Structure 1
Amino acid sequence: MTKIIDLFAGAGGLSLGAIRAGFNVIGAVELDEHALSTHSRNFPLTCHIKKNISELTGTEILEELKISKNDLRGIIGGPPCQGFSTMGKRNLEDPRNNLFNDFFRIIKELEPDFFVAENVTGILNEKYSEIRDAAFSHISEKYHLLPPLKIKASDFGAPTIRTRIFFIGFHQKKIKTPLQEQDFYKQTAKSVTVEEALKGLPQEIKPIWLKESDSWQPIDKEKFGEDEFFKKVVGQIPSGVGDQASVKKYVEQNLVSGCHGTRHSPEVIKRYKELEFGEQDKISKSVKLKPFGYCPTLRAGTGSDKGSYQAVRPIHYLEPRVITPREAARLQGFPDWFVFHETKWHSFRQIGNSVSPIVAEKILQVIFENYYSKL
């Protein structure tokens, strides 16, 4: 079995991409209880470890999962990026920066065949060279590390310009012929616009839909497209993945969660109506989506330790309101049957922190097909 572990698993964007690519995500490590709860609902067969990775050893991970090093094929993960983000303060002393180092420490301890680490483009800034060098020193002797891959999600079939850096490495003794960066860039796919991506979702969202029960609303599958994006939106549900009650609602009743409303004042509604596509509201800083363009990078906002500030959300291109969590999930490349936290705030935070599963699948599919498809 092609067993892998997802470190800093979040809601599960990387996990879903990995499983769709053919891997078996046997373990997920995540400290945030809300993210871990969401991951547990969507990946019930995965063993979940709620611990701080900085306080966790490779041996302890193996003990939790009841496996040996020989059972492990790969490790994936997206170490917290707030310390490196161009949207943040880029604080060299941000303790979250150390978690990037911990990812590679775990790689050194467990020696998987390969690893895939995702982060923001800001991590390549010269000011973080010492942090990168320290992290890579853990794996320099035994791994072939590819040059950083800069991936824009819209180039790989997701309707967002979200651009991230992927660090990919292969164990020199376990994988004799490592892949090269060009092998991954070949996975580009047909682009999907905002208008195409949101087809079939309810457009008129009532501001009183604030409870989780209210957020379950019918969709119109007849409006769905027939391209690869909608195949992933509608189905491709891997065995043992998905919250079964939610999947049943989706398949049998055409209901999706996350259609939460937002209360806007008449003044705000008026301002939003008057905006042109792509124009930013001067007060809220929200940008009106372009129907024939892509969604800008969705932000996560801050955690409770940083004031619990909600990230600015885009405005729907036809309706004078910010988008719903379900619309955000579509724009990030998540399928309709995938469920997030019952509250709007945590849902947006989980989506904003996630790796697009479409991008994750494209990248991990290359690795699976080259080394494990015949196992």
Structure 2
Amino acid sequence: MTDNFTCIDLFCGAGGLTEGFRKAGFTSTFAVDCDEQAVETFRYNHPDTVCLHRDVRSLSGKEILHAANLTPGDVDVLCGGPPCQGYSLAGLRITNDPKNSLFLDFVRLTKELQPRVVLFENVEGIKSMQGGNVVSAIEREFEQIGYYCEARVLNAADYGVPQHRPRFILLAVPQDGAIISFPQATHAPFNQQQQLHLFEKIPLPYVTAWEALSDLPMIVAGEGAEELIHSGKYYFSYQRDRQGNRFPGKIFNHRATKHSERIQTRYAQIPEGGDNRLLPDELRTKKRNVWKIDRLKPSRTVTCNHRTDIIHPILPRGTTVREAARLQSFDDDYRFFGNLTRKAKWLTQDDQVGNAVPPLLANALAIQIKHILTEKIKVNSVAASSDKCLVPPLFS
């Protein structure tokens, strides 16, 4: 029996999914993304993985197997989160509308690669799209190629991520394959720990935003650099766990936006845990989605606009890429490349962090999938032994 499982990451972005699987002991053999800067970030942090800057629509399963040095049947996990900007349906079937092309190619590559497990992740809102028919259509597409599906919405905070980030997770296995199961939550709100798990192991309390951020250099608006020295003082276990191994004592991507004095005044008057709707009339703007971090709770979902939408709990400025990465559960030695402004053609560092699957959530899924694969191997082994016992003895 082997536990050297392989994974392939389509739509890999900066590599949050791959990072979680790597830490669970998987061998990441191949990844692909259409964004140049995201691929640069991925390649830097995962130098042993073949990562192509390509559109998945131009890839075949045969090309992927060749690039990954695999043969048919070697892929244990195929994962990815194709964008879903409004799927087009005909009844309960996904149509050939261009809006669906990336998902349909994900299904096509599943059919060509025949992985033992498929992990499809997306925004929570996909569940309610077109009255739930989108999810039914997605499941139908996988069933058409011989895969059985189950789906859940998982909150990253339940797995030690200092951020409320609900994600739609669909797992699929061949219809004659393993039994699907989802990871048990390891964390819970402090006042619900006992009630939620009376007969199970009591989970840890949620990791708060301040447990994630309080050790980072306290830079003001306009300060910071792509590389800084850490003080060496860690106040919480979550911070110590995020040090990484490659560059001890260093902090990357910690640059704060240079806000005007008026904007800083506005940010300063937003109460912790509140948003800009609570500002005095003279400081309000049309924008309604600026929220200040509450130090005693997990952050809200980190978005691609965190630099202006998620405000530091003490300093009157938006969060830096490193602070957002901490809230996403990336280690400090995980570096992001690219511009900080949207003038660039490719994804910004903010986009890469905001779009990523939190590595700790990915890790929980990877550990559970490893369990699914291991149990399937055991079942196959027992079945093979039973078949041998059924062969009648030969008599001379």
Question: After superposition, what is the alpha-carbon deviation per residue over 1:293-330, rounded to whole angstroms, capped at 9, x for unaligned?
Answer: 221112225xxxxxxxx874311000011111100000
Q: 1:179 to 1:126 in 2, by over 3 A?
A: same
Task: Out of 151-160 and 100-109, give the one that drifted further.
Answer: 100-109
In structure 1, what is the equivalent of residue 312 of structure 2?
A: 316
Match of 1:180 in 2: 181
* Aligned CA-pair RMSD: 2.5
Instruction: Answer with 137-146 or 24-33: which moved more.
Output: 137-146
Q: Show the counterpart of 2:155.
A: 152
Structure 2 residue 117 is the aligned partner of structure 1 residue 118: no
Counterpart among 213, 221, 236 of residue 198 in structure 1: 213
**Hey, what does 2:268 align to over in structure 1?**
273
* Offset of residue 23 of structure 1: 0.7
Change (3 A) 1:5 1:276: same
Q: Which structure ranks higher in relative contact order (CA pairs < 8 Å, sequence separation ≥ 6)? A: 1
Distance 1:265 1:312, change over 3 A: closer
Displacement of 1:370: 4.2
2:335 aligned residue (333, 339, 349): 339
Asked if the contact 2:330/2:358 (under 8 Å) is kept, the reply is: yes
Structure 2 residue ranges without an equivalent (≥5)? 88-94, 188-202, 277-283, 342-347, 379-396
Query: For the residues of structure 2 that align with 1:180 and 1:321, how far apart are their CA atoms?
Result: 42
**1:134/1:21 CA distance change after superposition, 3 Å:** same
Name the CA distance, whole Å, in 1 between partners of 2:100 and 2:322. 31
Shift of the alpha carbon at 1:372? 4.2
1:186 Cα deviation from its structure 2 partner:
4.3
- 1:208 and 1:193, CA in 2 relative to 1: closer, same or farther beyond 3 A? closer
CA contact (8 A) 2:221 2:316 kept: no
* Structure 1 Cα separation of the partners of residues 323 and 5 of structure 2: 33
Q: Deviations over 1:168-210 (max 9, x none)?
A: 012234x3x41334xx23444531111111121011235144x
Aligned partners of 2:99, 2:47: CA distance in 1, in Å?
Answer: 28
Measured at CA, do residues 353 and 96 of structure 1 come closer, stay the same or move farther in structure 2, by a change above 3 Å?
A: farther
Instruction: Find the counterpart in structure 1 of residue 35 from structure 2.
Output: 32
Q: Is the 8 A contact 1:187 1:362 kept in 2?
A: no
Contact 1:289–1:295 (8 Å) recurs in 2: yes
Question: Which TM-score applies when normalising by structure 1?
Answer: 0.82
Specify which of 12, 18, 22 is matched with residue 19 of structure 1. Answer: 22
Give the partner amino acid of 2:180.
L
Once structures 1 and 2 are overlaid, which stretch shifts more, 121-130 or 6-15? 121-130
Cα distance in 1 for partners of 2:6, 2:232 equals 35
Structure (1/2) with the larger strand percentage: 2
Q: Which residue of 2 aligns with 1:218?
A: 229
**2:304 aligns with one of 300, 318, 323:** 300
Per-residue Cα deviation, 1:72-118 (whole angstroms, up to 9, x for no partner): 1110111124447xxxxxxx998454322321221122111101111
CA 368–114 in structure 1, closer or farther in 2 if over 3 Å, else same: same
Letter of the aligned partner of 2:232 in structure 1?
K
Contact 1:145–1:169 (CA<8 Å) still a contact in 2? yes
In the alignment, is residue 105 of structure 1 matched against residue 108 of structure 2? yes
Question: 3-state DSSP class of the match of 1:5?
Answer: strand
Structure with the greater alpha carbon radius of gyration: 2
8 Å contact from structure 1 (residues 104, 135) kept in 2: no
Q: Which amino acid aligns with 1:362?
A: A
Cα deviations by residue, 1:11-56 (Å, 9 ceiling, x for unpaired):
0000000111111111001111110110000000100122211232
Q: 2-side partners of 1:82 and 1:336: how far apart?
A: 32
- Give a deviation string over 1:264-308, Cα, whole Å, max 9, x none: 11111112112211222343542111111221112225xxxxxxx
Q: Secondary structure at the match of 1:323?
A: coil
Secondary structure of the residue that 2:14 maps to in structure 1? Answer: coil
Structure 1 gap segments, 5+ residues each: 85-91, 238-246, 302-309
TM-score (norm 2): 0.78
Native 8 Å contact 1:108 1:138 kept in 2: no
Q: Which residue of 1 aligns with 2:369?
A: 367
Contact 1:258–1:342 under 8 Å retained in 2: no
Change (3 A) 1:126 1:223: closer
Amino acid at match of 1:325: V
Instruction: Provide the residue aligned with 1:240 in structure 2.
Output: none
SS at match of 2:271: coil
Letter paired with 1:196: E
Identity, % of aligned positions: 30
2:251 corresponds in structure 1 to 256
Using the alignment, how far apart are the partners of 2:374 and 2:240 within structure 1? Answer: 24
Aligned-partner Cα distance in 1 for 2:363–2:45: 16
1:227-238 equivalences in 2 (<5 Å): 229-235=238-244
Number of corresponding residues: 335
- Name 2:197's counterpart in structure 1: none
**CA 1:231–1:140: 2 relative to 1, 3 Å:** farther
With over 3 angstroms needed to count, the CA separation of the structure-2 counterparts of 1:101 and 1:93, relative to structure 1, is closer
Question: Aligned residue for 2:171?
Answer: 168
Are the aligned partners of 1:101 and 1:131 in contact in 2 as well (CA < 8 Å)? no
What's the secondary structure of 2:28's corresponding residue?
A: strand
From the superposition, tell whether residues 56 and 135 of structure 1 become closer, same or farther in structure 2 (CA, over 3 Å). Answer: farther
Partner Cα separation in structure 2 for residue 61 and residue 4 of structure 1: 12
